[in-house]
């Protein structure tokens, strides 16, 4: 049977409702899975009108009521978006609603009602206004699921990266580079690639410093932490290489085809090449959770919200990847 994929609507003041509607207005994703929006019925109805969708919009109270038929967008309706919520603006009510969608989807996944979640974008400032302490989806999902080891992976057709550190100051990120943390991320990379269908993953581990430290001249993190983590991974039978200078590792991966994924040390080291290659089609994956989670790799785009012009390619790719991963056994 096709897997059920919960699509969390994201910040209702952003483009999340619109891209959710666009992604589900055609039959493509229904051929791969049984998609269900976790959100607000009124917000989805407004988005459908904005984009001119002819899909039937149907609110439900529980998954067992879903029909999962092409041409119908079903919304597990939390009824938490006020009618006067402005589009394209920060609002604490929108931040709380976005959090509620994720929380509900996680509860369903943890209860075994669905194997995967694909998330539309949330806004970190709106979350903060709502009193939510989390800097992003990854941290919310980690805490709500009780996962102890998880990481952010970004995926395009040309490149996949996984992060040792993410939403922290760059100065702090350097202090967080330890052998244990790097090795954990290599293991998560291996498991994610296997679940994506790569039989024997080839993993490159980027250096932190210019030229991967140049034998200690530009920093010793490679010597003290990154290289020992790579050696430990190799001893476990993993095809790992590194530390590879960060100014060449992406070229070797994309043009040379040497690696299936790059372990990167900090947020921008991985995000910059991914967004250059596939800003509109990239997919964010949280690996190490007890369920599958994919997401668009872009933000709420308040400047475009409510105009009917947002691109849903990344949302489609996120659901497509979630469905593919849900049909494969975990590593």
**pLDDT tens per residue, range 240-260:** 999 999 999 999 999 989 999
Q: DSSP labels for 229-250?
A: HHHHHHHTT-EEEEEEPTTTHH
- Residue 331 above 60 pLDDT? no
Mean pLDDT over residues 191-198, rounded? 91
Q: What was the pLDDT predicted at 187?
A: 97
- Cβ neighbour number for residue 3 with a 10 Å cutoff: 18
- Local structure of 319: helix, strand or coil: helix
Residue 330 — very low, low, confident or very high, per pLDDT cuts 50/70/90? low
Give the chain's mean pLDDT.
95
Q: Which of 42, 10, 44 is nearest to 124 (CA)?
A: 10
pTM for this model (two decimals): 0.88
**Domains of the chain, with CATH numbers?**
1-147+289-331 (3.40.718.10), 149-287 (3.40.718.10)
Determine the pLDDT at residue 329: 62
Residue 129: is its pLDDT beyond 80? Answer: yes
Section 84-108 average pLDDT: 97
pLDDT tens per residue across span 275-300: 898 777 789 999 999 999 999 988 99
């Amino acid at each position: 049977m096709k897997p059920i994929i919960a699509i969390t609507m994201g910040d209702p003041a952003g483009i999340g409702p619109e891209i959710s509607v666009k992604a589900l207005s055609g039959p493509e994703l229904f051929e791969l899975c049984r998609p269900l929006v976790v959100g607000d019925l009124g917000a989805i109805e407004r988005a459908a009108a904005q984009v001119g969708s002819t899909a039937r919009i149907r609110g439900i109270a529980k998954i067992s009521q879903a029909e999962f038929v092409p041409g119908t967008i079903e919304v597990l309706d939390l009824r938490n978006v006020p009618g006067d919520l402005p589009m394209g603006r920060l609002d604490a009510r929108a931040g709380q609603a976005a959090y509620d969608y994720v929380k509900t989807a996680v509860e369903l996944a943890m209860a075994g009602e669905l194997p995967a979640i694909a998330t539309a974008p949330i806004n970190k400032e709106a979350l903060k206004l709502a009193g939510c302490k989390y800097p992003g989806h990854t941290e919310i999902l980690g805490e709500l699921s009780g996962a102890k080891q998880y990481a952010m992976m970004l995926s395009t057709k040309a490149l996949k990266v996984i992060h040792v550190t993410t939403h922290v100051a760059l100065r702090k990120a350097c202090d967080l580079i330890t052998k244990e943390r790097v090795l954990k991320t290599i293991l998560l990379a291996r498991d994610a690639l296997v679940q994506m269908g790569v039989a024997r993953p080839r993993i490159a581990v980027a250096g932190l410093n210019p030229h991967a430290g140049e034998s200690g001249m530009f920093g010793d993190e490679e010597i003290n932490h990154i290289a020992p983590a790579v050696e430990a991974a190799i001893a476990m039978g993993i095809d790992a290489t590194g530390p590879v200078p960060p100014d060449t590792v992406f070229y070797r991966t994309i043009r040379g085809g040497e690696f299936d994924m790059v372990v990167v040390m900090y947020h921008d080291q991985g995000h910059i090449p991914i967004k250059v290659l596939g800003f509109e089609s990239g997919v964010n994956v949280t690996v190490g959770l007890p369920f599958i989670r994919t997401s668009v790799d872009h933000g709420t785009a308040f400047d475009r919200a409510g105009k009917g012009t947002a691109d849903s390619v990344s949302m489609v790719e996120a659901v497509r990847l979630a469905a593919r991963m849900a049909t494969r056994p975990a590593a």
